[in-house]
Amino acid sequence: MGVLALGAALAVEVVELMFWRWFVRRYRLRVGPETLVGMRAEVVQPCSPVGLVRVRGELWNARASTPVEPGEAVTVSGMDGLTLRVEPDA
């Protein structure tokens, strides 16, 4: 009887592990400011080189490699602390 219970418990653990690995691969959590890289943003205050952009409704400090004016679209290319690096859209 004890061997049967041990076998059942082991089977449950294996199934849970397989499900968890599948779940993590399929639904990776996407949180944190690093997820902003690659997103489009709108310039709110001129970035020459530092200004403000709006991404997903939030205002972020931004540093641009070339001056960009309010209303222009930019793409987030990276981060320096909590300051986004942005590049003008082509």
Q: Are residues 51 and 15 in the same domain?
A: no
Claim to verify: residue 40 and residue 10 sit in the same structural domain: no
Please check whether residues 41 and 11 belong to one and the same domain.
no
CATH number of the domain residue 54 falls in: 2.40.50.140
pTM given for the model: 0.65
Count of structural domains within the chain: 2
**40-49 per-position pLDDT tens digit:** 999 999 999 9
Task: Please tell me whether residues 41 and 26 are part of one structural domain.
Answer: no
The set of long-range contacts for 31-35, using a CB threshold of 8 Å and a minimum separation of 24, is: 33/79, 33/82, 34/79
Question: Do 80 and 44 have their domain in common?
Answer: yes
What residue numbers bound the domain in which 8 lies? 1-30
The pLDDT of residue 32 is 76
Does the structure show a pLDDT above 70 at 28? no
